[in-house]
Amino acid sequence: MKLPFAVACLVLILVLVAFLLWTPDRDRAALEALYLRSPSDMIEVAGTRLDVRDDGPKDAPAIVLLHGFGSSLHTWQTWAATLEADHRVVRFDLPGCGLSPPDPSGDYRDERSVAVVIALMDRLGIAKASVIGNSMGGRIAWTFAAEHPERVDRLVLISPDGFASPGFEYGRKPDIPSTVKLMRYVLPKPLVKMSLAPAYADRSAMTDALTTRYYDLMRAPGVRDAMIARMEQSIRYDPVPRLRTIRAPTLVLWGEEDRMIPFANAADYVAAIPDARLVSLPGVGHLPQEEAPVRSLDIVAGFLR
Q: Give the total residue count for the chain.
A: 305
Contact in structure between 84 and 68 (CB atoms under 8 Å): no
- Going residue by residue through the chain (305 aa), what tens digit of pLDDT does each one get? 444 545 444 444 434 444 456 899 999 999 999 999 999 999 999 999 999 999 999 999 999 999 999 999 999 999 999 999 999 999 999 999 999 999 999 999 999 999 999 999 999 999 999 999 999 999 999 999 999 999 999 999 999 999 988 878 899 988 888 888 999 999 999 999 999 999 999 989 999 999 999 999 999 999 999 999 999 999 999 999 999 999 999 999 999 999 999 999 999 999 999 999 999 999 999 999 999 999 999 999 999 99
Distance CA 23, CA 304 (A): 43
Domain ranges of the chain: 26-304
Task: Note the pLDDT of residue 175.
Answer: 86
Region of 261 please: left (phi>0), alpha (psi -120 to 50) or beta: beta
Task: Note the pLDDT of residue 7.
Answer: 46
Task: Note the pLDDT of residue 1.
Answer: 43
The rounded Cα 128 to chain-centroid distance in angstroms is 22
Kindly write down the DSSP assignment for every residue of the chain, as one continuous string. -PPPHHHHHHHHHHHHHHHHHB-PPPPHHHHHHHH-S-GGGEEEETTEEEEEEEES-TTSPEEEEE--TT--GGGGHHHHHHHTTTSEEEEEPPTTSTTSPPPTT---SHHHHHHHHHHHHHHHT-S-EEEEEETHHHHHHHHHHHH-GGGEEEEEEES---S-BTTB-BTS-----HHHHGGGTB--HHHHHHHHGGG-SSGGGS-HHHHHHHHHHHTSTTHHHHHHHHHHT--B---HHHHTT--S-EEEEEETT-SSS-TTHHHHHHHHSTTEEEEEETT--S-HHHHSHHHHHHHHHHHH-
Which phi and psi angles does 264 have, rounded to 5°? -60, -25
- CATH number for domain 26-304, candidates 3.40.50.1820, 3.40.50.620, 3.40.50.510, 3.20.20.120: 3.40.50.1820
Contact in structure between 50 and 42 (CB atoms under 8 Å): yes
